Structure formats: C-alpha cells, structure tokens
Chains A and B, each alone.
Chain A
Amino acid sequence: MESTVLTWRAPSGWSASLPADLDSANTLVLVFGPAALDGAGAPVGELRRVFPRALLAGASSDTVIENGRIDDAVVAVSVTRFAHSRLAVLRSVAGADAFTEGRRMASDLAARDGLVAVLALADGLHVNGCELVRGLVAGLPLGVVLTGGMAADGTRFERTWVIADGTLCAHTATAIGFYGERLRVHSASRGGSVGFGPRRRVTRAEGNVVFELDGRPALALYEQYLGRYASALPASAAHFPLSVYRETEGDTAVIRYVLGIDRARQSITFAGDVPRGSAVQLSRAGRGDLLRAAEQVAHELDAWVHAPDDRRAVLNIVVSCIGRRVVLGEQTDAEIEPVAQFLPPGAAQIGFYSYGEISGSGLAPCDMHNMTLTLTTFHEA
C-alpha cells in the first residue's frame, strides 16, 4: 500500500505533481474541497484524466485537513494504491429514500466476499444522514467497519456535493467497499459536548425540524441562550448543540447540530431527526472538552497503528464536525495536532469538516453523529 496527500488551491494549482504512477484499479483518490468547487471543477477533471483507473470519491467542505494542518479554501486530495485490497463503489439514486438506498448499497457491497469496511459520503443538506446510516447498518454484516461523513458548506448551509464514482453531484450518497484479508481498518469517535440545564420535551417537531420545546418556540430558547450572538444563528448555535436522549430515563444521547433556522416559523432544523416526544437537553461544547475528546480519540489511534514492528503506510481519514470548527475557531488545529502526533512518519492524513460524522462509538451501533471527531485508519498487514 502506498499513499500520498497533496493540495490544490487557486490560482497556484497543485502543491506537488500528481503521482500518476499510483493509478490502478485498486487506487482510491479522495477529494475534499470547498462547495464552490462544483462551479470550477478544474482539479476534479484533472484528477480523472491522471487517474483513469482509480476510484474517485469526495465531499464538499470549506475546511479540510491534510497531514496535520487545517486549511480553508483548499482542495485536499489523497491518492492511495492498495497492494492487497480491492475496492468497489456504489451511488444512490438522487433524491431516493435514504434508508432504502443505504440498505441496497450495503447489501450489494456485502454480496462480494471479503468486505472489511465501507466509507460513506453523502450530500449534507439533501440526504437524510440518520436514515442513510440506518439503511447501511441494516444491510451490512456484523464486523464490517462503517465510517464516513456528510458533505458540508461551512456555516453557509447553501449547497453541498459529493463525488460519486468520479462524478460531482448533489442529492446523492456514495459508498465505497474495501475488500481484502490483509486490510486493517479501525475507526473511533469522540464528542466532548456536555449537557447542561433542564431536560426538555420536544412538543412539536417534524423530522429534523423542531418547532417547540416544552410548548415554547425552539428558536426563542436558542435566542435566549445565545443572547447577543443570536443574530449569528444558525452558526452560533454550534456552541449549544442539542442532546437527544434515546430513552426518557437513560443517559444515552446523540448530539444534534443546528443546520438552519426559520424565523418566520420559529423553528430550528437539526442535522438529524429529533422525534416529537423525546427528551432533549442543551449541550455546551466547551473548547477544553472538545480538545480533551480529541486527545482521547488520538490515543485510540495510537493503539492501532503503533504496533511494535509497524513502519507500514497508513491512510488516516479524519471527519470532524463543522460545529467543532466554529467553536474551536482559531484553535481548530489543536484538535488535529494530537492525532498527527500519533501517526507514524509518512502516514497520509486527509479529512474534512462535515455536517454529520458516520461512526460507531464504543460498543454502540454505528450512527450519524454531530460535534464529534471521527478517525479511521487503513493499512495493510
């Protein structure tokens, strides 16, 4: 396995010459770049020409991660040629039911022997990420690692895209299957948001749009808590993501990030379903807590890749939440630094800030999360 990361920025172009010799049927080219790229499209076209046999996939994001750095307005590209593993890619029918498409793609990928992992990328504004993940989980056999994320558009929430089988498109999800006995894939995820204040009941909601909490407009609650930063909604809501409890009494919650607001309807749109009747609580995403969580997940990565004899190539895919980017601001690099610190020399790291991270956490089944840092490593034994 061989892997390298390079960047493209306008107008200077590529940071290094494209490694055309890595092109093969078992080569994965991942592309993460600004949502506005769909208008220009130049680097993607070039990648298609240089790597005609490779499998080309990607997702939009204004902030990307490449080899320990975060960068805005840059296209990050990783080129990985697997020596002992095979790849397959599927895409969903644009606009079709996310659960059904997720299950279909998972079943089709699992139909071939030796499936080890699935990397899923989807349009972050138009594909229901929770349903997509539910569908993928439903179609995958136990033991297959599922990872990935939802394409983003910074804090503009206007348009997102994915590259599915070489084509840049919206309203679509793509799933890449990784096969091979010698392939080792690890994935872990941590959040760090801490619930505070009273638990509230969702008294009016439709899908991922919440109108009322405890009979009071949901938007009014956020405006009250954000005070003078209410005018910066929805981006400023990243400071108070919503904990949605699975059971009324329990402490198991998923964190939901605010994607948008509607002042006329006094509603908030979250990056995942918030069922009516469920118990929710505001969370505080403090910088310290987020960074502590990043360190914890980095330590997990250390355990996977620092086997005594390990000097082999590693591809590390990072999917972090756009909310973390907002909260960490000028200190965003601080969550990538500990990860980079544990990667072996020569490892390729690429990632993006997303509208939803696809990962399992601990023993819990895979889900779509917000406000987490999700790490996945690929290497061949």
Chain B
Amino acid sequence: MSELTPSALHATLRRQLRRLRLEPSQPPDAAQWRELLCGIDRAYHEADELVYLVTHSERIVTDELQRSQQALAQAQRLAGLGSWSYDVDSAMATLSDELAHLLELDDAQRHLPLDGLIEFVKPADAAAVRRMLDSAIAAPTQLAAEVRFVARGGREHWCLCRMASHPNTQGRVHRVDGTVLDISDRHAIEERTRELARTDPLTGLANRSHFIHLLRRAIDAARTEGTGAAVVFIDLDGFKNVNDTCGHHVGDALLESVARRLCACLRASDVVGRFGGDEFVVLLPGLGTAAEVSLITDKVMRACTTSVEHAGDKVAVSASVGVALFPDDGDDAEQLLKHADAAMYVAKQSGRNNTRFFGADLRARRQADRTLVMALRAAINRDQIGVAYQPIVDGATREVLGMEALARWTHPELGPVAPTDFIAMAEDSGLIGALCQRVSVAASRELMALPAAQRYTRYVSINVSPVQLRTPHFVRYAQRMLAQTGIDPHLLAIEITETAVMHDVELAMRMLTQIKALGVSIWLDDFGTGHSSLTYLRQLPVDCIKIDRSFVTGIDAAVAGPLLHGIVSMARSIGCEVLAEGVETESQREALLAIGCTLMQGLLFGAPDTFARWAPAPARSALTV
C-alpha cells in the first residue's frame, strides 16, 4: 500500500476523515472509528444506489421511448401519415417508415439530401415546395400546402404537406420537421364531386347548369372573335312509348346509346348536354350560319334515329330538332335556349323527325304572340273579358236548368279571338288564373243580381284549366272568390277535363275533395276523349260527367251506340249525372232521352249568349226553349 498521505486517498474518504478531524496517519478512537465506518458504509450504499438508479432509469426510459416510437409509427401507419426531419447544418433529411413506404424507397434511401427529397415532388409543384422550405429555413414558421409526390415506381400521390421549423438557442433555424399525408382519395372524391355537379349521371353529358355555363363562355368567345355559335335542342320522338312499353331500363339504355352516338358524330369542341328526360342539347361553337349548322343537324338526326326491339315489335325513335343561332336568334344563353326549344316545338308540331331553325318566321310569330299576350293581359286588367252563357236544359221538357259560363275576348283590332287560341295563350303565359277569376266572378255576380226567389232556379258551371288545377293555391283562391261574391256554392259547378286530373291524380283528388267540401259541384268535361278510366272515376268526387260532343255527333238514326249506352249506365251505377254536349238535332235529343240521358247542351237549345237571355223572366217561374 502506498503511503497514506491525504492526497493519495479517495476524495470521499479524505472528506470523511476531515469531518472527523482525523489525519490518515492517526488511528481513530472508538467513537471516531464507529462514525468512520458508518460514513464509509453510507458511501458504498450511495454508490450502489446511484449505479442502480442510472441503469434502472435508463432501461425504463429506453422502454418508454421504444413504446412511444412504436405507437407513433403505428399511428402514422394507420393514418397514412409520413414524416420527415431536415437537419439544416448537415443539409440531410430523414424520412419516416411511412413516408419511405409512400415513395417506395427502401431503408438505405431514408437518409438523403433535401434535393433528393424534392426530386420526388412532381415538377409542377417543386418550385412551390422549394419556396416553402426556403421560408421555413429563413425563420421559424409553420406552413402547409397540397402538393403531388411521384413515388419511385411512378405512382402519383396528392399529399397534404405541413412543416414547422425550429430555432436553436440563438434563434437560428436548425431543424425543419414535416408531415406528409396522402390525400389522393380525397382528391379523387373531390374531382368526382365536381364532375357530378357538372354532368348528368346517366349519360355523363353536361347537365343544364354546366351546359349554360359553357354556352355563356362560347357566346363571350364568339362576341370577342366576331364569330357565331349554334344551340341545337333535341327532343326524341316516341321515347315515351319506349319507356311505357319496354320499361325504364330499356329507355335508359336508349338514352345512353343516343348520347354516345351524338358525341361520336360531333367535333371535340362541341358540347353535348342532357337536360333530363329525352331532351338533349348541343352547343356548336364558332358556327353562325344555318348552312353550316344544317350539315351537323343532319348527323344529329341520324344519331338519334334508332329502334328498340320489344316482344317481337320494333319501337322506333327519331328526333325533333330546333336550332337557334347566335347572334341572330338571341344574344344570351337563356334566350338562345328558349328559341331553340321553341323551334324544336314547331318541328315536333309539324310532323316530328325534322329540324327547324328559329329563323325569321318563328321570330316574327313569337313577336306576334308576345303582342297578343300583352293585349290579353291588358284586356284582363281592364275587365274587357266577356262572358257568354250557353243553356243547360232538361232534354225532355226543354226547361233551362243552368248555364255554362264561357270566356269571350274581342281584340280591339283583330276582332273576336277564338277561345281555343286565347285560352292556350293564357295557359302558356300564366294569365289563366286571372282569366278564370274574371269569368267566375262575373258569373257569380250575374247570379247574385237575380232576385233571391229566382236565383235558385239556375246554376252556373265554370271551366277550370288544367294549369290552374296544378296550382297549390287553387282551393284558397276558390274560397276567396266565394267569399267575395257571397254566392251560395251550391249554385256553382266547376268543369275539369279528364286530362287535367290524370296529370297528377293524387293532387287533383285532394283538391277536388276540398272544393267539393266547399259545396261546389264537380263536373268532368269532354268525357270519352281522354283516358276515361273507370277506376279513377270511381275515386273522384265527381257529380256529373259531360259526354263529349263527338259521341253525340255519332248518333245514327236516332239510335245511340252501345258505347254511349255503356257510359250512361256506368255513370248511373256510380251515382253520377250525365250531360250530353253538342246536341244539335231532334233525333239526337230523342236518342239520348231513350237511353236515359236527360241533361243536354247544344245549339238545338241555344248558342252562347248573354246571361239575361237565359235568366228566368221575372213573370215566369221557368223558361223553356
């Protein structure tokens, strides 16, 4: 053992001796010896404790870090979240497992220079990524952007990249960390959503809003370039028949094949759209003359002409085509579409399977129609709509029981306008409600003007347009009218046509039930010309059916045919009255009486005339004709 000088001893022992005020060469007394041993014992224990705590805590913290790394890696794997860390001083980036996996890199390639990582960014996005990195390195910040990565195998991924830079104690950025989340699926969904918002799901063609958007763009371009554009409106002839006889799946397949053929026969710059049902539209940018467009519409007609086999029969489909040209036929998208539609309508009216250009004559006709509509509106507003009354009689006694109120309009310059013409015009232009209101109010007032005693010897029937029956406010309107005029609803009947009811049976049923609840009678007009469905007739709250004049005209030698006979007995069986229209001869009257149809209307009893003409004379209780 070397000499026991204080400096040769372990510092701990030296301190212990000093605390006991002992020199190494001086033996301790018993108390000092005990205290020295205790101190040495404590020092050994402390050393053991420190070694244990260091190794034990190292093991635990290593476990903890490993578990946390595993949890992070697992979470990143589940979330598809890759991450990277860039060390500014070494200019090297380290990629996480998940990012390496996304970029299809193996373990050896996970540590790479920053430029090496940027090489995996799609060239179009690389400059933006570089700018982000530059600003992240320049000063502590957080940034995010959506960029495309191209994996080593060439697969492209849309990724959401976030990065945050960290300063060292001097404030200089020494590390940039980033995450990369693959959002390719979300991008695909967004793209699909945008696509769906623009297209018709069945055919993949442009839908109405997208077509109008493209049409506006084409109009702007044509205006700038001084060229033209054409809008072609196509309605398939006979398509309803295909749907009705072969089913919707065949109809859908037909629409798809027409869409394909339309696209195939047009230029890539042309746009084909579908507005629903069997309505297709084509935009031909740059074409401004009818001659140019005709070449195309011929192809369009051929593309739409086809047939479908069904149960051994062929169901043929063709197209009615209308064309409107920019700038001649309109200077905005809405007008061009409206005019192409109108031209198509004329094509359909004039025998289908042909093409009509909107052109000068249609333009003139539309102008004339517009002028006439304006005149009609003015006439309604100024209360210039006249009402004529045709008597409804008991055919046996010829006693007048009631009257049908009929609208009459005399144009100040053109003279009397045919009711079929101006009523159709009123339906198209939304004036029908006001027109019917004029008639019903006028008729009610006439009745109310009669002395109370005579009032109940007549009733009035008023025609209700199918358009009105589709208006949800119709019942409220009727209630208001009754309240305004104060008329007893039992003196009124409304006449509706079968077709008006068939358009939406449920709605009609609901409305008619409510009207009937008001006390107003309901008559079915023109019976026999439409569906004449007995099933619906049973369900409808109908009080009387008016047999169409075509049945009465067909009465031969004072004998009613079996059909007429059948209608009368059927109506009776369900508790309906029957009224025959268009009775013009004595033999018709007799034949009708013979089958039990006593209510009649027609020139035999009187043409439409003033209310007073058919009103009860003050002196007499009844008028016979």
Contact = CB atoms under 8 A, between A and B. Distances in A.
A371 to B, nearest CB: 15
A99 interface: no
B535 interface: no
B52 A198 contact: no
Given A198-B68, A229-B52, A331 B57 contact: no
A192 to B, nearest CB: 15
Interface stretch (A159-167, A220-228, A303-311): A220-228
B46 A229 contact: no
A198 B64 contact: yes
Interface in A314-347: 329-331, 333-334
A86 interface: no
Nearest to B44: A330
Given A225-B56, A239-B53, A198 B15 contact: no
A256 interface: no
B34 interface: no
A329 B64 contact: no
A69 interface: yes
Given A198-B65, A287-B50, A227 B56 contact: yes
Contacts of B145: none
Contacts, number: 57
B169 interface: yes
B520 to A, nearest CB: 75
Q: DSSP majority for the B interface?
A: helix
A330 B42 contact: yes
B61 A196 contact: yes
A329 B49 CA distance: 11
Contacts of A228: 52, 56
Contacts of B68: 198
B11 interface: yes
Interface in A213-268: 224-229, 236, 239-240, 251
A334 B11 contact: yes
Contact of B43 (A69, A236, A330): A330
With most chain A CB atoms within 10 A of its CB, the pick from B16, B42, B49, B53 is B53
Given A228-B52, A229-B52, A239-B53, A69 B46 contact: no
B61 A229 contact: no
A143 interface: no
B49 A229 contact: yes
Nearest to A249: B166
A197 interface: yes
A284 interface: yes
Interface in B27-48: 39, 42-43, 46
Interface residues of A, number: 24
A217 to B, nearest CB: 15
Interface in A328-368: 329-331, 333-334
B65 A330 contact: no
B12 interface: yes
B53 A329 contact: no
A227 B49 CA distance: 11
B267 interface: no
Given A225-B57, A227-B56, A329 B19 contact: no
Interface residues of B, number: 23
Contacts of B46: 329-330
Contacts of A224: 60
Nearest to A70: B19
Contact of B16 (A240, A282, A287, A330): A330
A56 to B, nearest CB: 28
A226 to B, nearest CB: 7
Contacts of A227: 52-53, 56, 60
Contacts of B49: 229, 236
Nearest to B40: A330
Given A225-B56, A229-B49, A331 B12 contact: yes
A284 B58 CA distance: 10
A334 B15 contact: yes
B15 A226 contact: no
Interface in A271-294: 282, 284, 286-287
Given A197-B61, A197-B65, A240-B57, A330 B52 contact: no
Contacts of B56: 225-228
Contacts of A331: 11-12, 15, 43
Contacts of A196: 57, 61
Interface string B96-127: 00000000000000000000000000000000
A228 B46 CA distance: 13
A229 B547 CA distance: 109
Contacts of A333: 15, 18-19
A330 B64 contact: no
Contacts of B61: 196-198, 225
Contacts of A198: 61, 64-65, 68
Contacts of B18: 69, 333
A191 B56 CA distance: 23
A240 B18 CA distance: 30
A46 to B, nearest CB: 25
For the complex of A and B, 9 pairs with smallest distance between CB atoms: A329-B46, A197-B61, A330-B43, A227-B56, A333-B15, A225-B57, A239-B53, A330-B12, A330-B42
Given A329-B46, A330-B15, A330-B16, 8 more contacts: A196-B61, A225-B61, A228-B52, A229-B53, A236-B49, A239-B53, A333-B15, A334-B15
Interface of A: 69, 71, 196-198, 224-229, 236, 239-240, 251, 282, 284, 286-287, 329-331, 333-334
7 contacts: A71-B19, A197-B65, A198-B68, A240-B57, A282-B57, A329-B42, A330-B43
Interface of B: 11-12, 15-16, 18-19, 39, 42-43, 46, 49-50, 52-54, 56-57, 60-61, 64-65, 68, 169
